[in-house]
Amino acid sequence: MIKKIGFIGLGIMGKPMGKNLIKAGYQLIVSDYNKEAAKELKELGAEVESTPKVIAEKSDIVITMLPNSPNVKNVVLGENGIIEGAHEGLIYVDMSSIAPVVSQEVYRALIEKGVEMLDAPVSGGEPKAIDGTISVMVGGSKEGFEQVKEVLAAMAGSVVHVGEVGAGNVTKLANQVIVALNIAAVSEAFVLAQQAGVDPESVYQAIRGGLAGSTVLDAKAPMMLERNFKPGFRINLHIKDLTNALETSHEFGAPTPLTAAVLEMMYSLRADGHDLEDHSSLLKYYEKLANLEVTR
């Protein structure tokens, strides 16, 4: 029976996810790396510890929500890492978005210590992390999935098992490709409308109920029209994901020319200082080319 959950990575996504676990009645042990966030969760009843090793020793499950592959490898396999706190029955769930090959590398190291691992990246951004409706795509054994499904459901609206370890992150890369290309398409369409003298807000309202309608359109079009680029998911993190997607596509020989094109757009935005903005700021790439600003 799962009683204590270790949670490492209290960022934009991790902090509200941790809060939802507490709301669901789980005992949480969090890392003190982000001291303000740790203090906030401590006030809600979480225990705070200083190293992944100690968190693992005291937990039934350890969840990580970290920026990239090197962070995960360091927290799991580094000095005072999760692997040093491994014990019988421990389950490790990495909810970060990282390279699938790194997930498999970490899995191989942990399985030697008898630790079950699942890679379970998420989609939905900060708003869905806050309201507990993120989508979780899980790679790992079916037995391990059944053990953690209820825990993941406390943070999510959808939890789907997609295959063995690494499959979760392959699915997340596919998700990130689709999201990025959708945002670029919306940006391109709005600049076309503005340049042609048609109100982009009217275009959005006219098309959202048709075939062009999507969750991405409904989430990002209002942000673009309000010129609200406060990050729910930052450009620099999407650069990381699309870079992982391209590397994975090259490894398996899958053509991804549109992904490569949008990645170059994001690099351009980073060069212009927009990398900490929401990925809806892809609009600014097109605005710069057209020398205009999309307005309501």
Q: Annotated catalytic sites, by residue?
A: 172
Element (H, E) at 44: none
Count of Cβ atoms closer than 10 Å to residue 291 Cβ: 7
Amino acid found at 286: Y
Distance CA 29, CA 7 (A): 6
Count of Cβ atoms closer than 10 Å to residue 8 Cβ: 28
Q: Decide: residue 171, CB within 10 A, 0-12 exposed, 13-18 middle, 19+ buried.
A: buried
Instruction: Give the distance from CA 282 to its chain's centroid.
Output: 18
Distance CA 96, CA 89 (A): 22
Count of Cβ atoms closer than 10 Å to residue 29 Cβ: 21
